[in-house]
Structure 1
Amino acid sequence: MGYSVPRTPMTLMTAVYRYIFPAVRHELTHWQTRAEQIPDNELRDQALASMGSKRFHCMGGAVYALLAGYRWHEAVRFIVAYQTISDYLDNLCDRSTSMDPDDFRQLHQAMTDALTQDNPIKNYYAFHDEQDDGEYLADLVRECQKTMRNMANYGIIQEHLSELEHLYSDLQVHKHVRMDERISRLTAWFHNHEGPSYSLYWHEFAAAAGSTLGVFCLVSYTMCGRMNENMATRIMESYFPYMQGLHILLDYYIDQKEDTLEGDLNFCRYYESVDQMKERFCYFIRQADRYVQQLMDRPFHKMVYQGLIGLYLGDPKVNNLNNGRDMKTLLFRESGHSSSFFHWNAKAYHWFCKTKARFPVGQKAANRKSSREN
């Protein structure tokens, strides 16, 4: 693959289909095989479930490997491993009978260690009922640490990675404790972090903390040697809170109905009205666009948020929301025509994958042969 960062939707999707998605599938197959070997039934079930229902997180996140130049394949390995940790731990916290903040904090120590060069592996299940994962989580951490050790300018982004990871882990702890404690913990946490430049509601701040995009962006640029102090600061300003906030708010938006049925926390419920929610989504789009203007490879970063909008609003769940059609029209108009391109591209890709799964190449050939013989 060439070293130039894609600047148009067509060149981006060509690189994604030709290089990124096949590499992601290869990595996921490796980790799925490891997950199938987990001795504990519950941990194995949660690891496999997270890879089944959330694999698109790895597919989307791995787009940032295109910023890593000739080391794009290494970047894919890191992104898949780190996102797999995130999705696995989210499942453990969401579906566990535990509501112990110490348990959640200890589990997420794995994400802290994964972004260091040499933190020792710990017993991440120390407060968890289930313990034996056959070194699955530890091996994911080790894979990420290997990337950290192979970056010459790691020191430039170390503090930024730590800040993003701590925000993420704090969110996971606060939102998974007992239901009657969640809002008070989240609002207190927000007020402790609220800065003069944040014009956010508490649930928007929480949403921004829940994304891994900033980590992937910082790591990928550093891997190819393009990182410096000024660039790292600009990436942080651009990705937190606006790019990351838009990402997770879209995720919560499409999950509103199922979160209501399952009794899960959904940040979109805390808007006063649908009109306010629409207004705030547009605000996040405008702010994301404003801040990416200061970044190297501006067209790429703009396509990222347009791709997020196209991808999430292409989910069939949007059609079941009362305001789904209006929201889709509004956000496509606000973000630009490329969002529609990514939207239809994503729908076509999912259709192709389903068709391929239903009729594998060998089966199609056999069916054609049978037809000719008959």
Structure 2
Amino acid sequence: MAAVYRKIFPAVNAELKFWETRAREIPDEELRRQALASIDSKRFHCLGGAVYALLAGYRWHEAIRFIVAYQTISDYLDNLCDRSTSMDPDDFRLLHEAMADALTEKNPIKHYYALRAEQRDGEYLADLVRTCQKTMRHLDSYHVIHCHLLELEQLYSDLQVHKHVRLEERVPRLVNWYHDHTVDSPLYWYEFSAAAGSTLGIFCLVSYGLGRKMTVGFAETITESYFPFMQGLHILLDYYIDQDEDRREGDLNFCHYYDNQNRMKKRLIYFIRQADSHVQHLPDHTFHEMVHHGLVGLYLGDPKVKSLENGLDITSDLLRVSGYKARFFHWNTKLYHRMTKARA
């Protein structure tokens, strides 16, 4: 944690400052507004994801540059789809080709905005993609991990397309997609969808790829350790605290599909335990434990939890199951929010 506060967070903030300056130069007003909003409201995604840079050893700064650029693409495109002037799945698919191209060494830049009204971003998205590609070219183990990177990215992009189409089409598309990808799955369709919506596995693979020699077996172990349970826990917690906001905005929230509060709590506990079990197969397993316990403490420390039905009781049960590390992060998160509120 000392390294995170001393090295990682300042470097993340410097990278975000660079991309914020670039976003302010976007010619199209709507694209500029969404790019700036994504950085302003989702900064914590980059800060959280950047802890994986610790796995990159002395190349930690390269990992941060990739993580911030890739997460910024993700958050920007999510804004363009979520608060979109378009409801066209082909438009969403073309936009998200930027995320696949970013995970290649030299795929040519496409006209990602070709199917929407807004066109001119001053090369903002293209430069984010090029920044990620530079990291890919510097990965000695790129040939080992690239198929796993693209597998996780494809799941992410599929989710973004299906969940942003017209309201009446979303659930049927997601259910069909779930059945196309699973056989005898222990997950419900909405849990599978949640697991697809995280970028943590990609950050883990790239950071390890920068920091050590990768093997085919190791890359497979990372992917299986993170998908579905680690990534699913991440996104389910994110949806859990956003329930009231999403209900007001009419946005899709996977936690709304549980039969009742008790069922949701039991499934969250299941994900916590499964995530804990699966990361034991990884080297540095205490680091990965810290991440998933940190997710529990971080999200449940958000002030929005107080307004949720049975929010405090569910928080207490989840923290008890997750253990003292989660309680540590929970206490720190609540303290941070109090200090931020006091300064405001």
**TM-score surpassing 0.5?**
yes
The answer (yes or no) to whether the contact 1:152–1:225 under 8 Å persists in 2 is no
Question: CA-atom RMSD, angstroms?
Answer: 1.1
Aligned residue type for 2:268 = F
Amino acid at match of 2:68: V
Does residue 142 of structure 1 match 2:130? yes
Instruction: State yes or no: 1:115 paired with 2:110.
Output: no
**Corresponding position of 2:299:** 312
Q: Distance in 1 between matches of 2:76 and 2:338?
A: 26
SS at match of 1:293: helix
In structure 2, which of residues 157, 163, 177 is the aligned counterpart of residue 169 of structure 1? 157
Residue in structure 1 matched with residue 4 of structure 2 by the alignment: 16
Residue in 1 aligned with 2:60? Answer: 72
Shift of 1:344: 1.5
- Percent identical across equivalent pairs? 68
Please list every run of at least 4 consecutive aligned residues from structure 1 whose deviation after the TM superposition is greater than 2 angstroms.
346-356
- 1:126, 1:351 → 2: CA distance? 45
Indicate the residue corresponding to 1:189 in structure 2: 177
Q: CA deviation at 1:355?
A: 5.9
2:208 corresponds in structure 1 to 221
Counterpart check, 1:248 vs 2:235: yes
TM-score by length of 1: 0.90
Partner of 1:4: none
Q: Once the 2 structures are TM-superposed, how far is the Cα of residue 56 of structure 1 from its aligned partner?
A: 0.2
Corresponding residue for 1:325? 312
CA distance in 2, matches of 1:304, 1:245: 13
- Encode CA deviations 1:20-78: one digit per residue, 9 max, x unaligned: 10000000000000000000000000000011110000000000000000000110000
1:354 shift after superposition: 5.8
Aligned pairs for 1:263-342 within 5 A? 263-342=250-329
Matched, 1:159 2:174: no
Q: Give, in angstroms, the shift of residue 133 of structure 1.
A: 0.3
Give the distance between the partners of 2:288 and 2:278, measured in 1 at CA.
10
- C-alpha distance in structure 1 between counterparts of 2:156 and 2:338, whole Å: 33
Give the CA deviation at 1:327: 1.1
CA distance in 2, matches of 1:178, 1:105: 14
Give the letter for the 1:241 counterpart: P
Give CA-to-partner distance per residue, 1:115-168, whole Å, 9 cap, x none: 000100000001011010000000000000000000011011010000000000
> What's 1:88 paired with?
76
Q: TM-score, normalised by structure 2?
A: 0.98
Structure 2 distance, partners of 1:59, 1:324, is 25
Q: Over residues 248-287 of structure 1, what are the superposed CA-to-partner deviations in whole Å (9 max), with x where a residue is unaligned?
A: 0000000000100000000001011111101100110111
In structure 1, how many angstroms separate the alpha carbons of the residues matched to 2:6 and 2:77?
30
Q: Give the deviation of 1:353 after TM superposition.
A: 5.3
Q: C-alpha separation between the residues in 1 aligned to 2:211 and 2:141?
A: 10
- Residue 58 in 1 paired to residue 70 in 2? no
1:37 touches 1:44 (CA, 8 Å); kept in 2? yes
5+ residue gaps in structure 2?
none
Q: Displacement, 1:322? A: 1.4
Alignment check: 8 A CA contact 1:36 1:44 kept: yes
Give me the whole-angstrom Cα distance separating, in 1, the residues matched to 2:104 and 2:337: 36
Q: 2-side partners of 1:257 and 1:83: how far apart?
A: 25
CA distance in 2: counterparts of 1:296 and 1:199, whole angstroms: 26
2:93 aligns with 105
Structure 2 residue identity aligned to 1:47: A
Deviation at 1:345, TM superposition (A): 1.7
3-state SS of paired residue (2:281): coil
AA at the equivalent of 2:141: N
Deviation at 1:226, TM superposition (A): 3.4
Counterpart for residue 198 of structure 2: 211
Using the alignment, how far apart are the partners of 2:306 and 2:215 within structure 1? 44
| Counterparts of residues 123-138 of structure 1 (less than 5 Å) | 123-138=111-126
Tell me the amino acid that sits aligned with residue 322 of structure 1. E
What is residue 25 of structure 1 aligned with on the other side? 13
Q: Distance in 2 between matches of 1:207 and 1:99?
A: 21
- Between the two proteins, the alignment pairs up a number of residues equal to 344
Per-residue deviation, residues 209-235 of structure 1 (Å, max 9, x unmatched): 000000000000000123211111111
Query: Structure 1: which 5+ runs fail to align?
Result: 1-12, 359-374
CA distance in 1: counterparts of 2:179 and 2:46, whole angstroms: 32
CA deviation vs aligned residue, 1:145-201 (integer Å, no higher than 9, x gap): 0000000110110100000000000000000001010000000000000044x3000
Tell me the amino acid that sits aligned with residue 173 of structure 2.
Answer: R
**Alignment-derived partner of residue 333 in structure 2:** 346
- Rg comparison, structure with higher value: 1
Cα distance 1:292–1:34, how it changes in 2: closer, same or farther (>3 A)?
A: same
- Separation (CA, whole Å) in 1 of partners of 2:186 and 2:211: 34
Q: Matched residues in 1 for 2:183 and 2:143: separation?
A: 25
